[in-house]
Amino acid sequence: MPAAYLQSNHRTARLLPLGCAALLAALAAAGARADGTSTSTRTGTSTGTSTGTSTGTSTGTSANANASSSADTAHKEISSHGQLLDRVVALVNDGLVLESELDLQTREISARLRAQNVTLPSFDVMRQQVLDRLVLEEIQAQRADRAGIKVSDEQINAAMDDIAKRQNITLEQLPAKLAADGIGYAEYRIDLKREISRQILRSRDVIQRITITPHELDQYLEHERKTASAANEYNVSHILIPVAQDATPTQLAQISKRAQDIDDRAHSGENFGKLAITYSASETALDGGALGWRKGTELPTFLADVIARMKPGDISEVMQTPSGFHIVKLNETRAAGGPQIIQQVHLRHILLKTSEIEDDATVRQKLTHMRDQIVSGKDDFAVLAKINSQDPSSAVNGGDLGWMQADQFVPEFAAVADSLKPEEISQPFRTQYGWHIMQMLGHRNFDNSADAARERAFEALRDSRVEEATELWLQQIRDESYVELRL
């Protein structure tokens, strides 16, 4: 079964086109680079400005000098033709960010936030936040390239099909829907490819390194039974004021004071979303700090107990973690779901694969003969499966696949299973794995609550650590990069 695309407790963000196709062509001769993904906004040093952002520069290298030289050469070449088409607003290692990208993203994000009735900060603050995001996008794109991460057309198509289904339209209708929103189909595919690349990079560098032990699962489930927040879901907004890993006590005190000032302003009634856009370094900053709906057990660990004691509309006091100072607002609460009853099927099958010696017709004929022998009572399904089936995991059990949900199988297999009555044996059919005959052994409704609770516990524990781990990772890769802002 292929995994569902971009699950993340999960929310699929609307991708915004970056554009710059013409500028890429103009800058190609100078070796300029303009690509990125849709990621979060972070600061790079511990010295903040009034907007909560910073330049985050570090010691240059020959690669950085080449980047600067390439950017200057690009300007000269373009200028030699009589007109400056664009300018560099940030050097990022051996890459760059163009002003056209910055302007386009600023316009589109501002328009989206206005449509959501979010009060915006000043234009300069908004522009700085977007630039910080683009810088981090470029850093992640470079790391994905170095890691050899490739995204296939099949992955993009599967993602677009998933997006279309979420919009209750067909894949064929998606281009028209994008056009109605002012988004070019080709640009959307490019942005989606970058988004998938970013998700793969984060999965490799952050999510896969989070370990959950069986003891932690047991403790979590025990705590969940005693915690009121486990029965509710919470709509939360969040502001992060970051602290660099090498911050001095003086810098830490300054950042703490700034966080307290922001918290005081939020408590005095200032718009929380605007404060988040202006000052937060969280990846949700340009969404007004919105984390969306989370179960109490899916909240970051340091927030769970705090949120459980809050009422809708409440704003927390400042909280400190290794990634910085946090302020949260509880927007709404609602009851979570109850018991989980699922439909399962009990199947067994025999799998044969084609080869250079046996083609489709030969394999199908062999399976037809086996089926006839079983139906006539001359042979036993389990015995034939043990002797002939090329599915090693089930052959040892006489082809038995156990109790499973039908949608856990590939679509062709699930469709045949859905058509069978108890004890009925299918005609030979083909899937991507080869040729099969299948027998339906039974159906049942199964209370999956215990297994589902354990699976949710694992996901919740992992998700509660992902955001903090991601923030630290983003800060680390930002600190490790050479960045020169040219606003």
Sequence-ordered list of residues with C-beta below 8 angstroms from that of 206, at least 6 positions apart, any chain: 466, 469, 470, 473
pLDDT of 420: 95
pLDDT of 340: 66
Sequence-ordered list of residues with C-beta below 8 angstroms from that of 467, at least 6 positions apart, any chain: 300
How would you class 155 by CB atoms within 10 Å of its CB: exposed for 0-12, middle for 13-18, buried for 19 or more?
A: middle
Residue 263 lies in a domain: yes
Give residue 402's identity as a one-letter amino acid code.
G
Going by the DSSP 8-state scheme, the letter that residue 443 receives in this structure is: E
Residue 39, pLDDT above cutoff 70: no
Nearest to 240 by CA among 43, 106, 44, 50: 43
Residue 176 lies in a domain: no
Say if CB 139 and CB 478 are below 8 A apart.
yes
Euclidean distance between CA atoms 378 and 370, whole angstroms: 10
Q: What is the mean pLDDT of residues 301-330?
A: 89
Residue 207, pLDDT above cutoff 70: yes
Q: What is the mean pLDDT of residues 112-116?
A: 87
Q: What is the mean pLDDT of residues 141-164?
A: 90
Please report, in angstroms and rounded to a whole number, the separation of the first and last CA atoms in the chain.
48
Q: What is the pLDDT of residues 359-384, one digit of tens each?
A: 999 999 999 999 999 999 999 999 99
Counted domains in the chain: 2
pLDDT of 82: 55
Q: Are residues 114 and 67 in the same domain?
A: yes
42-46, 173-177, 291-295: which is most confident: 173-177
Q: What is the mean pLDDT of residues 72-99?
A: 73
Q: What is the pLDDT of residues 292-306, one digit of tens each?
A: 888 777 787 778 878
Residue 71, pLDDT above cutoff 80: no
pLDDT of 335: 65
Share of the chain above pLDDT 90, in %: 46
Q: Are residues 330 and 345 in the same domain?
A: no
Q: Are residues 135 and 241 in the same domain?
A: yes
Euclidean distance between CA atoms 18 and 201, whole angstroms: 20
Q: What is the mean pLDDT of residues 182-211?
A: 89
pLDDT of 221: 79
Q: Are residues 256 and 244 in the same domain?
A: yes
Residue 181, pLDDT above cutoff 50: yes
Residue 427 lies in a domain: yes
CA angle 168, 16, 148 (to 5 degrees): 100
Euclidean distance between CA atoms 164 and 162, whole angstroms: 5
Q: Are residues 212 and 103 in the same domain?
A: yes
What is each CA distance from 363 to 354, 383, 430, 435, in whole angstroms? 6, 18, 10, 7
Q: Are residues 210 and 350 in the same domain?
A: no
Residue 459, pLDDT above cutoff 50: yes
Q: How many CB atoms lie within 10 A of CB 383?
A: 12
* CA atoms lying within 13 Å on the CB side of residue 301: 13
Residue 152 lies in a domain: no
Residue 200 lies in a domain: no
Residue 159 lies in a domain: no
Residue 87, pLDDT above cutoff 80: yes
Length of the chain (residues) = 487
Q: Are residues 218 and 84 in the same domain?
A: yes
State the pLDDT confidence band at 354, using cuts at 50, 70 and 90: very high
7-21, 27-41, 108-122: which is most confident: 108-122
pLDDT of 453: 75
Helix (H, G, I), strand (E, B) or coil at 291: strand
**Phi, psi for residue 414 in degrees, rounded to 5:** -65, -35
> Which residue did the predictor score with more confidence, 297 or 32?
297
Residue 410 lies in a domain: yes
What is each CA distance from 119 to 133, 288, 309, in whole angstroms? 19, 9, 28
> Which residue did the predictor score with more confidence, 46 or 422?
422
Residue 157 lies in a domain: no
Residue 150, pLDDT above cutoff 80: yes
Q: Which of 57-87 are b and which e, b meaning 16 or more Cβ less than 10 Å from the residue's Cβ?
A: eeeeeeebeebbebbeebbeebeeeeeeebe
pLDDT of 226: 57
Residue 470, pLDDT above cutoff 60: yes
CA angle 325, 331, 337 (to 5 degrees): 110
pLDDT of 78: 45
pLDDT of 229: 57
Q: Are residues 273 and 422 in the same domain?
A: no
> Which residue did the predictor score with more confidence, 33 or 82?
82
Range of the domain at 360: 341-447
pLDDT of 314: 94
Q: What is the mean pLDDT of residues 102-114?
A: 90
State the pLDDT confidence band at 337, using cuts at 50, 70 and 90: low
Q: What is the mean pLDDT of residues 54-68?
A: 42
State the pLDDT confidence band at 454, using cuts at 50, 70 and 90: confident
Q: Mean pLDDT score of the chain, rounded to an integer?
A: 80
> Which residue did the predictor score with more confidence, 257 or 294?
257
Helix (H, G, I), strand (E, B) or coil at 90: strand
pLDDT of 13: 33
Q: What is the pLDDT of residues 408-428, one digit of tens each?
A: 898 899 999 999 999 999 999
Q: CA torsion, points 79, 81, 86, 87, in degrees to nearest 10? A: -20
Going by the DSSP 8-state scheme, the letter that residue 322 receives in this structure is: T
40-44, 49-53, 64-68, 441-445: which is most confident: 441-445
Q: Are residues 138 and 32 in the same domain?
A: yes
Sequence-ordered list of residues with C-beta below 8 angstroms from that of 242, at least 6 positions apart, any chain: 42, 43, 255, 281, 323, 324, 471, 475
Q: State the CATH number of the domain containing residue 434.
A: 3.10.50.40
Q: Are residues 214 and 112 in the same domain?
A: yes
Q: Are residues 436 and 331 in the same domain?
A: no
State the pLDDT confidence band at 219, using cuts at 50, 70 and 90: confident
- Helix or strand run (H / E) with residue 438: strand 434-447
pLDDT of 426: 97
pLDDT of 267: 95
Q: What is the mean pLDDT of residues 456-477?
A: 86
Say if CB 459 and CB 299 are below 8 A apart.
no
What is each CA distance from 300 to 206, 418, 459, 482, in whole angstroms? 15, 41, 12, 31
Residue found under tokens 């677009």: 160
Q: What is the mean pLDDT of residues 66-80?
A: 47
Residue 145, pLDDT above cutoff 60: yes
Q: Are residues 135 and 23 in the same domain?
A: yes
